[in-house]
């Protein structure tokens, strides 16, 4: 399963708190050496006031990061391969963490592309499982909406918005609803609090079955199969005759 958990930063939110959003995004991207299914991996923002502050905050967070050991050699090898794929697809490296000291250490990267390039290169929308993220410099509202339509199924999608962004957010919501099981507003998808409202699922390829969540109080439903006892005497029902379900 795969998910890049895109974050959409709308113009007024970008202007109001671009640096704060950039720092928060990069911080969560780097948690656990980027090895989390809810890792925010792609941040999209319309080029304008606040974009420079957002970008510099992300660079400041990624650049001093020490390389850390990844979970397995195979994950590390796949990460390095996917970093090369991003570069081959036209991504520009705008920040890199410390050089790995150990054989299976993951070096942190921040890439940047413009929206037109992203629309031309589907590979840029694929997951890079590890401490890397892609910043997308979007031209305008229409290009942002067009890019949103290109995403496949996701575990989560985030919008950073202010009141004056609500009209654009309303355009994005119907698109995101069809592509994710969890829409986050003015927060970050990672980490996730486990509660009755938790949804950790989404359309393929984020999960194999978008009807169920794998985290939360209703997650048990993935392992249950309904059985109807039609016209059965009460004394014969499972809870009365010692039957158990497995």
Distance CA 10, CA 12 (A): 6
Does some domain include residue 171? yes
CATH code at 137? 3.40.309.10
| Residue 46 lies in domain | 7-185
pTM equals 0.84
Task: Supply the DSSP symbol for 184.
Answer: E
Confidence of residue 246 (pLDDT cuts 50, 70, 90): very low
Q: Is the residue at 222 inside a domain?
A: no
Name the average pLDDT for the chain: 89
Local structure of 213: helix, strand or coil: coil
Model confidence over 96-128: pLDDT tens digits? 999 999 999 999 999 999 999 999 999 999 999
What is the model's pLDDT at position 208? 59
| Residue 231 resides in a domain | no
244 found inside a domain: no
In a domain, 219, yes or no: no
Pick from 79-93, 167-181, 204-218: least confident? 204-218
| Domain total in the chain | 1
User: Would 68 be classed as within a structural domain?
Assistant: yes
DSSP string, 70-129: -S-HHHHHHHHHHHHHHHHTTPEEEEE-PPPSSTTEEPPEEEEEEHHHHHH-GGGGS---
Q: Within a domain: residue 213? A: no
Residue-wise pLDDT for 223-245, tens only, equals 777 777 777 888 777 765 554 54
């Amino acid at each position: 399963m795969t998910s890049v958990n895109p974050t959409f930063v709308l113009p007024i939110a970008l202007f109001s708190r671009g640096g704060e959003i950039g720092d928060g995004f990069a911080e969560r991207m780097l948690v656990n050496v980027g090895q989390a299914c809810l890792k925010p991996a792609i941040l999209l923002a319309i080029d304008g006031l606040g974009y420079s502050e957002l970008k510099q905050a992300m660079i400041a967070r990624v650049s001093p990061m020490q390389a850390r050991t990844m979970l397995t050699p195979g994950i590390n090898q796949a990460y390095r391969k996917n970093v090369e794929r991003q570069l081959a697809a036209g991504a520009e490296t705008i920040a890199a963490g410390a050089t790995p000291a150990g054989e299976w250490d993951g070096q942190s990267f921040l890439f940047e592309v413009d929206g037109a390039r992203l629309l031309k290169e589907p590979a840029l929308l694929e997951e890079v499982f590890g401490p890397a993220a892609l910043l997308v410099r979007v031209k305008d509202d229409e290009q942002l909406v067009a890019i949103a339509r290109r995403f496949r199924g996701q575990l989560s999608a985030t919008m950073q918005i202010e009141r004056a962004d609500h009209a654009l957010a309303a355009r994005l919501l119907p698109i995101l609803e069809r592509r994710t099981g969890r829409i986050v507003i003015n927060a970050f998808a990672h980490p996730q609090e486990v509660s009755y409202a938790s949804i950790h699922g989404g359309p393929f390829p984020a999960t194999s079955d978008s009807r169920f969540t794998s985290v939360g109080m209703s997650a048990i439903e993935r392992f249950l199969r309904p059985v109807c006892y039609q016209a059965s005497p009460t004394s014969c029902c499972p809870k009365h005759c010692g039957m158990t379900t497995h």
